[in-house]
Amino acid sequence: MSFDLAVIGAGPAGMAAAVEARALGLAVLVVDEQPAPGGQVFRSVEAAHGDAVLGAEYSAGLGLVESFRRSGATYRPGTTLWHLDPDSGEMSLTPGGPAVARRVLLATGAQERPVPILGWTLPGVMGMGAAQIMLKTAGAVPSGQVVLAGQGPLLWLLAAQLKRAGAAPALILETTPKGRLAAAFRAGGWFSGRGLLLKGLGLLRETRGLPVVRAVTGLRAEGEGRVQRVVWDGGSADCDTLLLHEGVVPATHIPLALGLEHAWDVRQQCWRPVVDVHGASSHDRVAVAGDGAGIGGWQAAVASGQLAALDAAHRLGRLTAEGLAQRAAPVRRMQAEALALRPFLDALYAPSAAVLAPPDDQVLVCRCEEVTAGQVRAAARLGAQGPNQAKTFLRSGMGACQGRMCGATVARIIAESRGVTPETVAPLRPRAPYKPLTVAQLAGL
Amino acid sequence: MYATRPEARPATVEVFVDGVAVRVPAGASAAAAVLLAGSAAIRETAVTGAPRLPYCMMGVCFDCLAEVDGAANVQACMVPVVAGMRISRQAGARDALMPEAGR
Amino acid sequence: MSAPEPFQAIVVGGGLVGSAIAWGLAREGLRCVLLDEGDIAFRASRGNFGLVWAQSKGQGAPHYQRWTRYSANAWPELAQELAAAVGADVGLHQPGGVHLCLSDKEMADRSDRMAQMAREAGNSLPFHYRMIEAAELREMLPALGPSVVGASFTPYDGHVDPLRLLHALHRAFTSAGGVYVPNAKVERSNAAPHDFRVFAAGRVFEAPRVVLAAGLGNAALAPEFGLSAPVRPQQGQVLVTERVAPIFTMPTTSVRQTMQGSLLLGDSVAEVGYDISQKPAVMAEIAKRAVLSFPFIARLNIVRAWSALRIMPKDGVAIYDQSERFPGAYTANCHSGVTLAGAHARLLAPMIAAGQLDGMMDSFSARRFDVRDAA
């Protein structure tokens, strides 16, 4: 099957790109791992939009999903891209056969930043994003003593949602250090981003009265066979479910595997693909839009998806340069507005050094191969210069997740050990298959 | 431990988690079913045998690997439940020679 | 420029070949520096299949067959020594190995090849092999597919964890007093007999011996030292399955079970220059052949795959040399860093330490290409 534009991911960026590209007459393929469109932010919105607990902003995603459904794009849900040859545009997909596209837009979104603490592999410790997915896909809430630990807008959104559902967390452990608010105001953006800021203040108001410990450090999970206690410097509490969150980072697995040029994002402390204003990457067939190109939230993602679609149409001769400029202008204004609060949020919720590189040698950093921070430090002392050599020595990043959970942590620990800046250490280089698949699927049997 | 909210999403699909019947809402994943069933673990790691439950629920961490309808090491958070689905604990490295049902 | 740092040997290249030689030199009591690339490198050692393999090496080149056999024989001691030195378990398992044949033609060709190897081995180090028919093979390996008509077997073969080997060699080298310098791509060098300077990582290293073990990098480096290293990249792709409970009692040339439980499926051969991109069509071919050999493999998940570049000498046979113009400069070039690790650490390194390659190494000299090209 041959297409003008293939979009990988049916979240806000991917859906918006598909809608825009279809409107311009492009033949569009949308491939998504999930069974229904929406991405993680609007996960299951067609089924769950009536659940008031999730809030009005979530339900607003329904409109986007509906216009995507009507767009006429070829939609392959439940489908994994396991290899892309950027030079030819050939995509290996499973289940089902391959496809080829003249332009490929990666809209693979974000993942939660791993929070490697002692005990984070214990059953009952999860990401806050995971708890939200339980809410969206199953209407389910964690029961028993629920503790939220970490920081970021999602923490307060989840706390509010759980409270609305009658399952308010027993305790919130906020890791934001003292004095950050002043730094955030200095970073700017709060005035132009005041709409989002007000929404955040609303969440804070809604969650008032929940027990909160602030400026928490030294977080760890303890228990026999499952989490039973959460401990921090100066305190501890019983706990049945510990939900962690330290923000989200771009899902760079496929862009890195393709060898796209990446840049270190100092504000967000992560790698992101280098893209131009329309999302075009360093490879002339490939664009990246949405949180995958740098965290900006769903409204910015919609705008970047539209821009990438306009650019695709222009590159394929369906839109003149003037047409592109004209149509892109209002979208770029919308994007700027959506991104206005980012400097403020990034400064307020910057992850601590301990989250990026756990100081305790006993912490498991690679959950799959069960490699500790101490082992990574030993490899660095032996001369490992980055996560690729550490992978060779320790198997960190060789498990089923292919380094999605440990790659950044291993690189950071090595950077610290070597006494160099994080951008000096190149990220783990993933290879295909981007996700495991059976030998039979790979062989096309 | 997770609980459904029947007022929002009625639990209408019956699946079997480690052989025990549990009803979960349509749209839930196999991994969600394991959490709703209150299982102590969805897998034991192949490296040290440590118990794990799902961590990310969005296809990233691979800690939800389970046996789903006889297929080993399936990323359970990526598979929506269907009536009668059998989900069981992935106990360490799989037995490669064991024939699988329905695959 | 900083002051020259004196050593007794400089080894260029921290892959399996370089680190085995460097450790061997350090073991001989030489103060040795090992110059390596950084985190991103072609690094064939990271792409190795992990076989200690004698049965296919050296057809038409008896000296290479012998060298390989020496190395396979030296392997148990190498493994023990690494265990004693740094407590490393490199997972050596050397029960012999088989090459599966999927058609009568493959079986006949293989049989001819084995017979030739045995003829060429002569009597000094006889080459024992057996062609095994399907019925007997099924007793040896579980779940063989119906397409397998037989196999060749030699008792010398086995496998190790090549990554643990690399890690162990680095640890052993360092603990024997060796100095490891990463991010040290050779920028320039000065060569004189038994007097070498290598400029790398903003430092100057000086020694009476230099060993070039930089893999494909040797081609460009060797002429600086009056040597020649006609090697080219040859791409190989490998697939790795999830871990499964122990199933195989011995390795095969195309499927082996690692000590962690994964099955490695491979490996392909492609002449594509410096290209390490993965090709789904090649990956599919590897997968299909694996499934023909062992149908149960179809159900397993592939968790990783890679393509890497072998270091292939012009005629496929290893190249070892000491420079005539600048004695003290050596090259080591081969695509069998695992198999030959035993020979590199325990035989070659002592020769280099002593300052002279044995007569038996003459046939490995790159001068063989001059003769052939002149002829």
Contacts of A85 in chain C (CB under 8 A): 277, 280
Pair type for strands B2-3 and A141-142: antiparallel
Mean local confidence (pLDDT), A28-52:
97
Residue C1 predicted with pLDDT over 80: no
Closest CB to B78: pick one of A33, A51, A134: A33
Q: How far is B65 from chain A (nearest CA, A)?
A: 9
Domain span at residue B85 reads: 11-91
What six digits make up the tokens of A314?
A: 């222009």
Structure token digits, residue C211: 């060993």
Report whether C237 contacts C266 (CB < 8 A). Answer: yes
Q: How confident is the model at residue A247 (pLDDT cuts 50, 70, 90)?
A: very high
Nearest residue to B84 (alpha-carbon basis) of B2, B24, B41, B38: B24
Would an 8 Å CB–CB cutoff place C301 in contact with chain A?
yes
Any domain includes B22 = yes
Whether residues A140 and B60 touch (CB distance < 8 A) is answered with no
- C299 vs A: CB within 8 A: yes
The rounded distance, in Å, linking the Cα atoms of C330 and B45 is 47
Establish if B37 belongs to a structural domain: yes
Query: Who contacts C272 (Cβ-Cβ below 8 Å, separation ≥6)?
Result: C233, C235
State the chains in contact with C (3 or more Cβ–Cβ pairs under 8 Å): A, B
For residue B70, what is the enclosing H or E element? none
Contacts of C242 in chain B (CB under 8 A): 46, 72-73, 93-94
Write out pLDDT tens, residues C303-330. 999 999 999 999 999 999 999 999 999 9
Q: What is the mean pLDDT of chain A?
A: 97
Judged by average pLDDT, the poorest of A379-383, B33-37, C266-270 is: C266-270
Is the CB of B96 less than 8 angstroms away from the CB of C301? no
pLDDT single digits (tens) C276-298: 899 999 999 999 999 999 999 99
Which sign does the torsion angle of CA C139, C141, C145, C151 carry?
negative
Which pLDDT value is given to residue B103?
38
Cβ of C361: how many Cβ atoms within 10 Å? 18
Q: What angle do the packed helices A321-339 and A298-315 form, to 10 degrees?
A: 170
User: Which among A34, A112, A142 has CB closest to B1?
Assistant: A142
CA-closest candidate to residue A400, choices C190, C22, C241, C149 = C241
Residue A351 pLDDT > 50: yes
Residue C372 — very low, low, confident or very high, per pLDDT cuts 50/70/90? low
Walk me through the domains of chain C, giving residue ranges and CATH numbers.
5-51+163-230+315-374 (3.50.50.60), 97-155 (no CATH), 232-313 (3.30.9.10)
Whether residue B94 and residue C297 make contact (CB cut-off 8 A), yes or no, is no
pLDDT at position C39 over 90:
no
Domain presence at residue B27:
yes
Give me the residue label for tokens 């090549």. Answer: C162
* Predicted pLDDT at A190: 86
User: Has residue B47 been placed in a domain?
Assistant: yes
DSSP letter at B93 equals S
Q: Characterize the bridge pairing of strands A212-213 and A171-174.
A: parallel
Residues A352-363 have a mean pLDDT of: 97
Is A134's CB within 8 Å of B8's CB?
no
Alpha-carbon distance of A266 to A139, in angstroms, equals 37
Identify whether B4 is part of a domain. no
Inter-chain touch A383–C182, beta carbons under 8 Å: yes
Using the Cβ of C39 and the Cβ atoms of chain A, whether some distance falls under 8 Å is answered with: yes
Average pLDDT rounded to a whole number, residues C71-79: 97
pLDDT reading at C373 higher than 60:
no
When pLDDT is averaged across residues C263-281 and rounded to a whole number, the result is 89
Distance from CA of A279 to the nearest CA of C (A): 24
In a domain, B17, yes or no: yes
Mean per-residue pLDDT, A167-176: 98
Domains defined along chain A, listed by start: 2-111+249-319 (3.50.50.60), 114-246 (3.50.50.60), 357-424 (1.10.10.1100)
Tell me which of C249, C296, C297, C303 to substitute to probe the interface with B (most B C-beta atoms closer than 10 Å).
C296
Pairing of strands A286-288, A99-106: parallel
Task: Kindly tell me the burial class for residue A419, based on how many C-beta atoms sit within 10 Å of its own C-beta (0-12, 13-18, 19 or more).
Answer: exposed
Gap between the Cα atoms of A404 and A397, Å rounded: 7
* CA nearest neighbour of A130 among A43, A211, A46, A45: A43
Read off the pLDDT of each residue in C172-190 and give the average, rounded to a whole number. Answer: 97
Q: Is the pLDDT of residue B101 over 60?
A: no
Taking the alpha carbons at both ends of chain A, their separation in whole angstroms is 19
C301 touches B: beta carbon within 8 Å: yes
What residues of chain C lie within 8 A of the CB of B100, using their CB?
A: 299
Distance CA A370, CA A376 (A): 11
Question: Which band of pLDDT confidence, cut at 50, 70 and 90, is reported for residue A28?
Answer: very high
CA distances A243 to A152, A165, C227, C265, Å, are: 13, 17, 62, 39
Say if residues A362 and C16 touch (Cβ distance below 8 Å).
no
Do B32 and A370 count as a contact with CB atoms less than 8 A apart? no
Task: Supply the pLDDT for residue A341.
Answer: 95
Interface residue of C34, C37, C39 to substitute, partner A, most A CBs within 10 Å: C39
Q: What is the pLDDT of residues A326-339, one digit of tens each?
A: 999 999 999 999 99
| Chain A residue closest in CA terms to B13 | A138
Residue B32 sits in a domain of what CATH number?
Answer: 3.10.20.440
Q: pLDDT grade, residue C165 (50/70/90)?
A: very high
Query: Residue B98 domain-assigned?
Result: no
Predicted confidence at residue A142, as pLDDT, reads 98
Model confidence pLDDT, tens digit, residues C194-211:
999 999 999 999 999 999
Give chain C's mean pLDDT. 94
Confidence of residue C44 (pLDDT cuts 50, 70, 90): confident
Q: How far A120 CA lies from chain B's nearest CA (Å)?
A: 9
> Quick check: B52 contacting C, CB < 8 Å?
no
> Distance between CA atoms of A8 and A392, rounded to whole angstroms?
30
Query: pLDDT digit string (tens) for A127-163?
Result: 999 999 999 999 999 999 999 999 999 999 999 999 9
* Per-residue exposure over C232-270, b if at least 16 CB sit within 10 Å of its own CB, e if not: ebbbbbbbbbbbbeebbebbbbbbbbbbbbbbbbbbbee
Residues A350, C97: Cα–Cα separation, whole Å: 55
Q: pLDDT-derived band of residue C47, with 50, 70 and 90 as boundaries?
A: confident
Predicted-complex ipTM score: 0.96
Query: Measured between CB atoms, which of A35, A112, A140 is closest to B80?
Result: A35
pLDDT class of C43 with cuts at 50, 70, 90: confident
Contact at CB, C302 and A383, closer than 8 angstroms: no
**What pLDDT is stored for residue C371 in this prediction?**
67
Please give the sequence-ordered ranges of beta strands (E in DSSP) within A251-298, or none if there are none.
262-265, 270-273, 286-288
Quick check: is B70 in a domain?
A: yes
Rounded to the nearest 10°, the torsion over CA C235, C236, C237, C239 is -160
pLDDT tens track for A255-303:
999 999 999 999 999 999 999 999 999 999 999 999 999 999 999 999 9
How many domains would you assign to chain B?
Answer: 1
- Tell me: the pLDDT tens digits for C5-23? 999 999 999 999 999 999 9
Whether the CB of B61 is below 8 Å from some CB of chain C: the reply is: no
For A252, the closest chain B residue by CA position comes to B60
- CB C114 within 8 Å of CB C65: no
- How many Å is the Cα radius of gyration of chain A? 22
Min CA distance, C163 vs chain A (Å)? 6
Tell me what percent of the residues of chain C surpass a pLDDT of 90. 90
CB contact under 8 A, C40 and A98: no
Report pLDDT for C375: 46
CA–CA dist B55, B73 (Å, integer): 16
Element (H, E) at A187: helix A180-187
Q: Where are the beta strands (DSSP E) in A218-318?
A: 220-222, 229-232, 235-238, 241-246, 248-250, 262-265, 270-273, 286-288
| Structural contact between residues B61 and B77, judged by C-beta atoms closer than 8 angstroms | no
Question: How far is it, in rounded angstroms, from Cα A200 to Cα C243?
Answer: 46
Whether chain C has a CB inside 8 Å of the CB on A384: the answer is yes
CB contact under 8 A, A398 and C304: yes
Reduced to 3 states (helix: H, G, I; strand: E, B; else coil), residue A248 is strand
Q: List CB contacts of B48: < 8 A, sequence separation 6 or more.
A: A370
Q: Specify whether the CB–CB gap between A287 and A308 falls below 8 A.
A: yes
pLDDT, tens digit (0-9, with 9 covering 90-100), for C89-147: 999 999 999 999 999 999 999 999 999 999 999 888 999 999 999 999 999 998 999 99
Amino acid at A46: E
Task: List pLDDT tens digits, range C217-256.
Answer: 999 999 999 999 999 999 999 999 999 999 999 999 999 9
